[in-house]
Amino acid sequence: MTGDILFNQYPTSPHIWDEMKAIEGIRQQYNSIYDTVSKLNLNDLEQKHKLASELFMSQGITFTVYSDNEGIERIFPFDIIPRIITGTEWEHIEKGIKQRLTALNLFLKDIYNDQQIIKDGIIPAELIASCPHFTREVFGIQVPYDIYVHIAGIDLIRGEDGTFYILEDNLRTPSGVSYMLENREVTKRIFPNLLSESNVRMINNYPLLLHDNLNAFAPKQIANPTVVLLTPGMYNSAYFEHTFMARQMGIQLVEGRDLLVDNHKVYMKTTAGLRQVDVIYRRIDDEFLDPLVFRPDSALGVPGLISAYRKGNVAIVNALGNGVADDKAVYAYVPAMIQYYLNEEIILPNIPTYQMNNVEERTHVFENMHKMVVKETNQSGGYGMVMGNSASDEVIAKAKENILANPRGFIAQPIIQLSTVPCLIDGKLQPRHVDLRPYALCGPSGIQIVAGGLTRVALREGSLVVNSSQGGGSKDTWVIDMPTT
């Protein structure tokens, strides 16, 4: 079987936006892929798929599943057909994310200092006060350049008419950027010609941009600040990413036990004695960072770290307390924040969000449960989510019960049919739902976003859940500048 048959058999649906194929035929941006893949036979494609898996395996880009006391190494599934975004679409996304992040940074500064937005009645005080990630311990702490969200992974989806929506804001320790970078490296090996012919914007300057920013956040004006990446350790599922980023930036990868705080300064323990640390890019959640302030049972963090942070002797990236801004109930107020802080209309729209502590909205949701997705406000990674269209009556009844017990803990949104892209599955090209997570970096010189991001795919047929913990995979994401015709 050759590639063109694969394309001819590819189904489309009028109710779902497919990124490759409109009802009229293949979209222009996918022409080069169509040309290349058409000339290959299925065997070649499957060889490429196998090669890609082997590349991930041999580089140790794996996570470990433990059973019977033995660890089994698995890779995150990777689909070889790239997902394509046009330059024009990208300009729009970029503008929207920059606007949103600017507002969210202002919001975080405001909420941990003067709280004008509450005093002006834009956001209800009880919404903030009831947010589990609103961190009173960091109130009033001044951070360099007033930047709280240094690295953001804002998730976008595409509705049935092709409109991009913001699905959620990840402002704490967003992960996955190593997959964005490694996916491209793998594509370079499996489709070298296609990549060079297609005019794809580059992404591999991400570590350099981040490194420059991290250096700039050093509290003292010194030439070579000591920047470290703080990891929970090798048993963390994102450990590969931590080593990858440390290596790409040439900074030390440290664990909590490598650091200590003395006289409000942070040091790392080296073979030549103690050495002061200026900037910490941490990949440990807030509540584990300092057992003296947060969870006393945490062995991952560094006792006294927050005292050094408060004194301004060390910069922590991302800032602590950001969870209040990516709370799923606060999400609904981001359009209002943009209006309030920037006096602008929102560029990338939110998905309509129903607050469960509002009786009217809750009744509406309960009556239309099968069209709704219910999410826990402080969860991420696809945990605690109920998809009304596929859940059993029992699960729905349980969800309602949970909502009534703690209305602030949940929101509901209408289910949006995410756009689809072709994936090579069981010897066929099949449409699968995707989202998009571009990675944005905020530094002293503004917000930078490398072109593309991580495309996550729900590999099960019909599934709308793309999280890697829930059977998702990923794709290389290309931003292509189309020739003007």
Partner 1 sequence: MLSRIADSLYWLNRYMERADGMLRLMKTSYILSFDKVQANSMTWEPALKIFTSLSNEAIEDLKKDNTAALQYLLLDAKNQNSFKVIINRARENARGVQDQITKEVWEQVNQIYHLVNQPGLAKKLAGPEAIVVIDKFINTSDQFCGITDSTMPRGQSWNYMNMGKYTERCLLTAEFTHYFFKEVAFDFKNEQDIIYWRGLLLALSGYELHLKNYSSQDHNYNVVQQLLFDNNFPRSVYYALDRANRYLTDIAASNPVEGSKELKRSFGRLQSSVKYADLEIVEREGLEKYLVTVRKDLNEFSRTLGRTYFSYS
The verdict on 352 binding partner 1 (CB under 8 A) reads no
247 binds partner 1 (CB under 8 A): yes
Among 88, 142, 270, 445, binds partner 1 (CB under 8 A): 270
CA 406, 138, 111, 438: dihedral to nearest 10 degrees?
A: -80
- The contacts found for 19-24 with CB under 8 angstroms, 24 or more apart, are 19/83, 19/84, 19/158, 19/419, 19/420, 19/421, 19/434, 20/84, 20/421, 20/422, 21/422
Span near partner 1 by CB under 8 A; candidates 266-274, 279-287, 349-357, 432-440? 266-274
Nearer to partner 1, 67 or 69 (CB): 69
CB 389 within 8 Å of CB 465:
no
Nearer to partner 1, 144 or 303 (CB): 303
262: contact with partner 1 by CB under 8 A: no
Nearer to partner 1, 59 or 115 (CB): 59
Q: Applying CB under 8 A, which part among 105-113, 245-253, 289-297, 417-425 lies near partner 1?
A: 245-253
Instruction: Please tell me the distance from the alpha carbon of residue 37 to that of residue 463, in angstroms, as a whole number.
Output: 26
Residues 6+ apart with CB under 8 A from 196: none
Residue number, 35 or 258, with CB nearest to partner 1: 258
- Select from 142-150, 201-209, 271-279, 377-385 the region that touches partner 1 (CB under 8 A): 271-279
| 233/414 with CB nearer partner 1 | 233
Residue with tokens 């963390």: 236
Residue span binding partner 1 (CB under 8 A) among the ranges 30-38, 248-256, 333-341, 359-367: 248-256
Closest to partner 1 by CB, 242 or 475: 242
Minimum Å distance from CB 116 to partner 1? Answer: 43
Q: 């929207």: which residue's tokens?
A: 96
- Using the rule CB under 8 A, is 2 a contact of partner 1? no
Binding mask 46-75 for partner 1 (x = CB under 8 A): -----------xxxx--------xx--x--
Of 228 and 423, the one with the shorter C-beta distance to partner 1 is 228
234 is an interface residue for partner 1 by CB under 8 A: yes
Say whether residue 276 binds partner 1 (CB under 8 A): no
Sign of CA dihedral 474, 480, 482, 483: negative
- Nearest residue to 300 (alpha-carbon basis) of 327, 321, 280, 279: 280
181 counts as binding partner 1 under rule CB under 8 A:
no
Q: Between β-strands 354-355 and 410-414, what pairing exists: parallel, antiparallel or unpaired?
A: antiparallel
Q: Which is nearer to partner 1, 39 or 257 (CB)?
A: 257
Is 345 a residue that touches partner 1 (CB under 8 A)? no
Q: How far is the CB of 59 from partner 1 (least distance, A)?
A: 6
Binding residues for partner 1, per CB under 8 A? Answer: 57-60, 69-70, 73, 233-234, 239, 243, 246-247, 251-255, 257-258, 268-273
